[in-house]
Amino acid sequence: MGIVSPGFRGRPRQTEATLPPGQYLTEDFPVLSAGPTPRVPVDQWEFVITTETGLDHRWSWQELLALPSETPTVDLHCVTRWSKLGTSWQGVSLDTLLADVQTDAAYALVCSYGGYTTNLPLADLRDGQAWIVHRYDGGELTPEHGGPARLLVPHLYLWKSAKWVRGVRLLPEDEPGFWESAGYHDYGDPWREQRYQGD
């Protein structure tokens, strides 16, 4: 008879195998920004989706909060190599915001208060993959982490989850954003280590 009963596997271990290559686990939530932190009062905040034909779809803060919300729990992976697992958010799915938007665009350029931009294929904002979030870990989203609202696209490196989001321009062709123009990868898949152009 063996020392260990059949089927016994012991206590599960947290391993870094759940992390994309080159990442390390952190319990902190580091704050990294390309410039000063904008402070946007919610009564002046709006979110605008502009189609490739120039048609605007607008939501005020109160209109955003009135939409059905979701509470995704997701892992975050920063291009600077830290990962934070199991983060909890509340916000509106881009599927909800895009539901009545007629477009043939293939790409999106996300724009933030403060001038930051980042590009994504429009497909990466659909099918339950992206949200405009306004709460984090049960509380309001602080300005340091992108409040009052930020984009959350957890399957890509965190620079794609634009802080202080104010809108999305839908485009027929890809247009690089802030970090992409500086040599970062156009797509940014952490599982393929797409950190920089050529990766």
- pLDDT at position 195, please? 96
Please give the share of the chain, as a percent, with pLDDT higher than 90. 84
Please check the confidence at residue 12 and state whether its pLDDT lies above 50.
no
| Residue the block writes with tokens 């999305």 | 168
Between CA 177 and CA 118 the distance in angstroms is: 4
The domain tally of the chain equals: 1
Return the CATH number at 59.
Answer: 3.90.420.10
Q: Within a domain: residue 28? A: no
Q: Which residue has the higher pLDDT, 6 or 122?
A: 122
The 10 Å Cβ neighbour count of residue 132 is 22
Residue 138 one-letter amino acid: G
- If DSSP codes are grouped into helix, strand and coil, which group holds residue 77? strand
- pLDDT at position 17, please? 53
- Rounded mean pLDDT, 61-72: 98
Q: Within a domain: residue 96? A: yes
Q: Within a domain: residue 145? A: yes
Q: pLDDT tens digits, residue range 98-110?
A: 999 999 999 999 9
The 10 Å Cβ neighbour count of residue 118 is 26
For the chain, the distance separating the N- and C-terminal CA atoms, rounded to the nearest angstrom, is 52
Nearest-10 Cα torsion for 16, 20, 24, 30: -130
Q: Within a domain: residue 10? A: no
**Pair of tokens at residue 176:** 């690089």
Q: Is the peptide bond before 148 cis (omega within 30 degrees of 0)?
A: yes
Q: Within a domain: residue 26? A: no
- Rounded mean pLDDT, 162-189: 97
Q: Within a domain: residue 121? A: yes
Q: Which residue has the higher pLDDT, 38 or 166?
A: 166
Residue 69 one-letter amino acid: S
pLDDT class of 36 with cuts at 50, 70, 90: confident
> Is residue 179 a contact partner of residue 169, using CB atoms and an 8 Å limit?
no
Q: pLDDT tens digits, residue range 123-140?
A: 999 999 999 999 999 999
Q: pLDDT tens digits, residue range 138-170?
A: 999 999 999 999 999 999 999 999 999 999 999
pLDDT class of 114 with cuts at 50, 70, 90: very high
Residue-range definition of the domain harbouring residue 136: 41-192
pLDDT class of 37 with cuts at 50, 70, 90: confident
Q: Within a domain: residue 15? A: no
